[in-house]
Amino acid sequence: MKALCWHGKADVRCDRVADPKIEQPTDVIIKVTSTCICGSDLHLYDVYLPAMKPGDILGHEPMGEVVEVGSAVTKLKKGDRIVVPFNIACGSCWFCERKFYSCCDTTNPDAEAARLVMGQAPGGLYGYSHLTGAYAGGQAEFLRVVNAEFNAQKIPDGLPDEKVVFLSDIFPTGYMAAENADIEKGDTVAVWGCGPVGQFCIQSAWMLGAGRVIAIDRVPERLRMAAKYGKAEVVNMDEVTVYDKLQEMTKGRGPDRCIDAVGCEAHGGGYVDAVMDKGKALVGLATDRAHALREAIMCCRKAGTVSIPGVYVGFPDKIPFGAAMNKGLTFKMGQTHTQRYTRPLLEKIQKGEIDPSFVITHRLKLEDGPGAYKIFRDKQDECIKVVLTP
C-alpha cells in the first residue's frame, strides 16, 4: 500500500509499504477514505519530538471503511464506516475506567521509554513516534485499528467524510480544551492560535456558554476564518501588543479563560522571548517555543483558567510561573480523551449544530502529502487544514 512515511527533518515521502494485518482478535482493518495532516504532525516533521525512525508511517486523523475484522469483533462488520480516534485506549484499565483515555495504561508497548521521559507513560497514539507505541499511522491506504469496537466511532449513512473525519482528533480536542477552561456563562474566552484546533476551541467555547470569544493569531486567513465561522473578535499579534489589547478589551481585568491552542512551535513574531526561543531551538538549547503559553499566563485574569490543548514535548523555558502562582491560575491540559467526545459531538453534527468541514482549505491526494506538509507548515496558499484522499 501507499503511505506517507517519515524519513528525517522535513522529509516525508509517499512510499510503498506492506499492508497492515490483523494482529489481535479485536483489530479491524480499514480502507482509509479520508485522512488529515495535524499541527501535531509538524512537531514530528520539524523533529521537535525526536523519536521517529525512517520509514515510520505518519498520521493520526483517519477514517475509512472496514474491510477485515478480527475474530473477536462482533459489532463492526465489513462495509461499516468508522472514524478512528488518534489515541488508543483499552477501556478497562484504571485510567480508562475514569475516562482518561489518552492516559491508558496498556496501549503503549514502549511504555518504559515514555516513563523515563515523562514520569509515567501515556497511552498509545497512531503515527506518533516510538514514545507512544510506534503504531503505524493513518496517512495510508489501509490502517490496523486497535481494539476497534471500543475505540472507533461508527458513522451512520448520509454523513460525508468531510463532516465527520475531524471527530478523530481536532474537534474533540477543541471541545475538551473548552471544557478544561471551565467556562462559566458569559465568560470572556481568549484563544491563542487560529489553526484547526483553535477554530474548534472557538466553536466549542460558544457551545459551552462563552459570552465573548477573542481569537489571537498572526496569519490573516486564520483570523478571517475565526471571525467568519467562529464569530470571534480577532487580534492580530503582528499589529498590536496582545497583552495591551486584551487589557483594553476587558477593561483591565484580562480574559476569564485562556486557551493555548498553539503549543511548542509558537512563532511569536518579533516578540523578544519568541526570537530567543527560535535561536535556542536552532542550536538545540530549547525543546519548545512557548511564547503563546507565556502570553496566556500573563494575560489571564486573576483566578482564571489556562487550558492547554497545544502539544508540548519537553522543557519549555522561562515560564512565568511566579505570575501564575500569585494570580491563582488554574491549569488544565492534556492529550484529548477522544473517546469521551466522539458520540456526543457526532450528535451535534447530526443535529446541524455544527458543520466541521468549514475548516478544510485543501483536499489533496495522498501522493501530494509531501507537498502538503510543506504548505501546511509554511502556511502557504492560505492553507489551514489539509484532508488527503488515499
Partner 1 sequence: MLTTAERTEPIKTRLPHGIDNSAPQPLATFLGLFSIGLGLAEALTPRDMANVTGVRSPGLLRAYGLRELVSGLGILANDRPAFWLWSRVAGDAADLATLAAAYSDASGDDRAKILSSAAAVAGVTVLDVLCASEHSHSQN
> Footprint of partner 1 on this chain (CB under 8 A)?
7-14, 203, 206-207, 228-231, 352-358, 360-364, 367-372, 374-375, 380-381
Nearer to partner 1, 127 or 356 (CB): 356
Which distant-in-sequence residues (6+ apart) come within 8 Å of 276 by Cβ? none
Least distance (Å) from partner 1 to the CB of residue 117? Answer: 28
- Retrieve residue 362's grid coordinates: 485543501
Least distance (Å) from partner 1 to the CB of residue 365? Answer: 9
Quote the CA–CA distance of 33 and 137 in Å, as a whole number: 14
- Retrieve residue 369's grid coordinates: 502529502
Nearer to partner 1, 25 or 209 (CB): 209
> What does 282-351 look like in DSSP terms, one character per residue?
HTTS-S-B-HHHHHHHHHSPTT-EEEE-S---S--S---HHHHHHHT-EEEE-S--GGGTHHHHHHHHHT
Quote the CA–CA distance of 170 and 195 in Å, as a whole number: 10
Q: Which residue has the cell 535556542?
A: 280
Quote the CA–CA distance of 133 and 126 in Å, as a whole number: 8
Least distance (Å) from partner 1 to the CB of residue 149? Answer: 31
Helices 220-230 and 196-207, packing angle to 10 deg: 20
User: DSSP assignment, residue 19?
Assistant: P
Helices 291-299 and 272-282, packing angle to 10 deg: 150
Nearer to partner 1, 115 or 374 (CB): 374
Quote the CA–CA distance of 106 and 121 in Å, as a whole number: 9
Nearer to partner 1, 16 or 251 (CB): 16
User: DSSP assignment, residue 167?
Assistant: G
Cα dihedral 121, 125, 128, 129 in deg (nearest 10): 40
Nearer to partner 1, 217 or 288 (CB): 217
Least distance (Å) from partner 1 to the CB of residue 353? Answer: 6
Nearer to partner 1, 4 or 103 (CB): 4
Least distance (Å) from partner 1 to the CB of residue 5? Answer: 10
Least distance (Å) from partner 1 to the CB of residue 202? Answer: 9
Least distance (Å) from partner 1 to the CB of residue 325? Answer: 34
- Residue 145 Rama label (left phi>0; alpha psi -120 to 50; beta): beta
Nearer to partner 1, 70 or 230 (CB): 230
- Residue 166 Rama label (left phi>0; alpha psi -120 to 50; beta): alpha
Least distance (Å) from partner 1 to the CB of residue 262? Answer: 22
Q: What angle (nearest 5°) sits at the alpha carbon of residue 199, between those of residues 194 and 203? A: 140
Least distance (Å) from partner 1 to the CB of residue 232? Answer: 10
Least distance (Å) from partner 1 to the CB of residue 367? Answer: 7
Nearer to partner 1, 249 or 360 (CB): 360
Nearer to partner 1, 13 or 280 (CB): 13
- Alpha-carbon torsion 126, 128, 134, 137, what sign? positive
Strands 87-88 and 188-192, bridge-based pairing: unpaired
Nearer to partner 1, 130 or 348 (CB): 348
